[in-house]
Structure 1
Amino acid sequence: MGIVKAICISEKKGTQKHRVDEAVFMEDWGIEKDAHAGKWHRQVSLLSYDKIEDFKKRGADVIDGAFGENLVVEGFDFKNLPVGTIFQCNDVILEMTQIGKQCHSHCEIYKIMGECIMPKEGVFAKVIQGGTIRTGDEITIIGEKNRFRTAVLTLSDKGAAGEREDKSGPLIRETIEKENYLVIDQRILPDEQNTIEETLIHLCDKLKVDLILTTGGTGFSLRDRTPEATLAVADRLAPGISEAIRAYSMQITNRAMLSRGVSVLRGQTLIINLPGSPKAVKESLDCILPALGHGLEILKGSASECARP
């Protein structure tokens, strides 16, 4: 069991968070009036009270909210809990989605102390069920949900330039998050092979996502370079997935044979190229989702490869 020692919010991004006595947590959004709330996986940030106190003993002069944390909690060493841990405080239910965060620009604390504990000790969560939390409330761990951490990439020159609405990326996210998948990164990139390769490497090696689903850039156009970028970063191939997508789609349209999408493995990440149109994306997901989880479990070492009886 833990105790909420402080609740902090900031109404504008780029400003330090300040304490409030209570806060309303909104389902799949975050804390009401907090600038960092939104439809993403880092809706609420949490930091251990004990880690802050240890940092203060090393000479840091900090107040609650200085690290950008929403909740300061006594009683948990957050970074040693697994992603997927479920917390409950009153009616509020939070699912831990990420441990730590890369610091792109060093804060004032880092400049003074030479380090900051939030990138190492802080964790992030999504609001699964809303309600109100007050300072002094008890917070408990009620379970663990092991969801596959997923990134969704839309590859489109016009989409990246804002000249075309991306409908396929949001469709992928909406579809898979109804299953056992958590989208922790979603972005639109132009059809530049080097950029695609660099992004795939970052997602695999730095963020260590379990699955990357791309959409677009798999046709015959000279600018369609998604398969080439995907193969360039691959350690191993997983051809059966893309073969299955094409075979399934061929029952609907013979133009499915024109898709050049590939599926590969890089480390413990599976990368699958999906077509660009929303209709083809839906067909592809209908084809692969029933078996995909088992493959990812094998990749993560949490399932055997025995055949289903």
Structure 2
Amino acid sequence: MEASIRGIIKAVCISEKKGTEKHPVNEIVLKENFGIEGDAHAGKWHRQVSLLSAEKVDEFNARGGDAAIGAFGENILVSGIDFKKLLVGSIMRSGEVVMKLTQIGKECHSHCTIFARVGDCIMPREGVFATVEHGGVLRSGMELEVTLPAADAPLRAAVMTLSDKGAAGERVDTSGPRAAELLAEAGYEIVEQVLLPDAQKKIERELMRLADSRQVDLIITTGGTGLSLRDVTPEATMAVATRNVPGIAETIRAESLKITRRAMLSRGVSVVRGQTLIVNLPGSTKAVEEALAIVLPQLEHGLRILKGSAHDCARK
């Protein structure tokens, strides 16, 4: 059953330029699939609107933070909701406005003025981000209702292609888009497609972001599983894992050996980070098609078990 949580909007804020603190305004106008009119962070991406709990700001200020409304970069300050405890995919409604939660927390690339002043900022760990699904006007005093995702909501997936040449624009990536296409045909919601060079730390950061902040159910990687010194996808994947799930990678290798003996050279792994399953696939489009044909029929049940919405793996 869907759960509902309610809070009250305490303030609405915008900033006309990126890198500047937001300031309170009387009302904000939200546009579908764009964000807030007049706000520098609006656009066709997954972080159109930022939200923060008023209680978290109060706790910060009680420790001597002295943060003004909007200082953390929040568009909407809400009392009564602990956003960090929500799930990505939650729907937020207020008046005519409908928003969809897309990310919890964010990586702080350059410390804000608050961090420089007091050595801390709560937005990277407490703030959340959303897209605008239906537009309208918001102002302080309005109720915000949050509905958590249904247990049978479509599974959410991301695809990462790891390729030095692809990231440099020297080769067109076809394996990643093909993986995304096959996943979409199987009913998955494709949250992101990422193309990165074969750099272990970058791969680790993206895997953690997708698993922790975007809370995707499945990450499929393509490339970087061979014997080249630049092939570091398995090492990056194991570095962020919380549990090993070797059977998936073992099955891909075993079945692929029936197609080509070179499958024994693949070092791909399959692991869990939190509630996200990560599966490494080879970098060729044909290998991606073959591997997904092998494992896709079984993955949904395993992912539902991981999410706690299915039970009993035993055969009868």
- TM-score tier, shorter chain, comes to 0.7 to 0.9
Query: What's the counterpart of residue 31 of structure 1?
Result: 36
Partners of 2:157 and 2:188 within 8 A in 1: no
Corresponding residue for residue 264 of structure 1: 270
Partner of 1:51: 56
Secondary structure of the equivalent of 1:5?
A: strand
Separation in 1 of the partners of 2:168 and 2:11? Answer: 42
**Pick aligned residue for 2:138 from 104, 114, 134:** 134
- The question of whether the paired residues in 2 share the 8 Å contact of 1:249 and 1:283 is answered with no
Normalised TM-score (structure 1): 0.75
Q: How much identity, in percent, do the aligned residues show?
A: 51
Structure 1 residues 89 and 116: alpha-carbon distance in aligned structure 2, compared to 1, 3 A threshold = same
Q: Which deviates further from its counterpart, 174-183 or 273-282? A: 174-183
Distance in 2 (alpha carbons) for counterparts of 1:291 and 1:260: 21
Deviation at 1:158, TM superposition (A): 0.8
The answer to whether the 8 A contact 1:216-1:274 is kept is: yes
Q: Distance between the aligned counterparts of 2:92 and 2:290, measured in 1?
A: 36
For residues 306 and 149 of structure 1, the distance between their equivalents in structure 2, rounded to whole angstroms, comes to 21
- Deviation digits for residues 16-39 of structure 1, max 9, x if unmatched? 223442222323x43345333455
The Cα of 1:46 is off from its aligned counterpart by: 0.4
Kindly indicate whether the alpha-carbon contact (under 8 Å) linking 2:158 and 2:210 is maintained by their aligned counterparts in 1: no
Of residues 98, 104, 112, the one that matches 1:99 is: 104
> For 1:37-77, what per-residue CA distance to the aligned partner results, in whole angstroms no more than 9, with x for missing partners?
45554332101233334444554444332111121123322
Structure 1 residues 142, 274: closer, same or farther in 2, change over 3 A?
Answer: same
1:304 is matched with 311
Change in Cα spacing, 1:201 to 1:248, as seen in structure 2 (3 Å) is closer
Decide whether aligned partners of structure 1 residues 223 and 291 sit closer, same or farther in structure 2, where only a CA change above 3 A counts: same
Q: Which residue pairs with 1:289 in the alignment?
A: 296
> For the Cα contact (< 8 Å) 2:248–2:270, is it kept in 1?
no
> How many corresponding residue pairs?
302
Q: Counterpart of 2:129 in 1: which secondary structure?
A: strand
Flag the 1:227–1:73 CA change in 2: closer, same or farther, 3 A: closer
How many angstroms apart in 2 are the aligned matches of 1:292 and 1:236?
Answer: 15
Contact (CA 8 Å) 1:156, 1:189: kept in 2 or not? yes
Residue 190 of structure 1 corresponds to which residue in structure 2? 197
Which segments of 5 or more consecutive residues in structure 2 lack a partner in the other structure? 1-5
1:236 to 216, 233, 244: 244
For 2:203 and 2:122, the matched residues in 1 are separated by: 31
Q: For 1:144, what is the secondary structure of its paired residue?
A: coil
- C-alpha distance in 1 between matches for 2:180 and 2:40: 23
Distance 1:162 1:150 in 2: 24
Give the residue type in structure 2 aligned to 1:110: F
Structure 2 counterpart of 1:22: 28
2:67 and 2:80 map into 1 onto residues whose CA distance is: 20
* Distance in 2 separating the partners of 1:11 and 1:246: 56
User: Does residue 1:109 correspond to 2:114, yes or no?
Assistant: yes
User: Matched residues in 2 for 1:182 and 1:30: separation?
Assistant: 21
Moved more, 39-48 or 238-247: 238-247
2:15 to 10, 14, 22: 10
> How far apart in 1 are the matches of 2:175 and 2:39?
29
CA distance in 1, matches of 2:313, 2:18: 50
Q: Distance in 2 between matches of 1:240 and 1:105?
A: 39
* Distance apart, 1:12 and its partner CA: 3.4
1:80 is displaced (CA, Å) by 3.1
Quick check: 2:246–2:271 contact (8 Å CA) kept in 1? Answer: yes
**Are the counterparts in 2 of residues 204 and 267 from structure 1 also a CA contact under 8 Å?**
no
SS in 2 for 1:272: strand
Q: Does 1:87 align with 2:99?
A: no
Describe the shift of the 1:308–1:64 C-alpha distance in structure 2 as closer, same or farther (beyond 3 A). farther
Deviations 1:255-280 (A, max 9, x none): 59647263322554432122334565
C-alpha distance in structure 2 between counterparts of 1:273 and 1:63, whole Å: 45
Shift of the 75–149 alpha-carbon distance from structure 1 to 2, 3 Å rule, reads: same
Letter of the structure 2 residue corresponding to residue 30 of structure 1: G
TM-score (norm 2): 0.73
Structure 1 stretches of 5 or more lacking a match? none
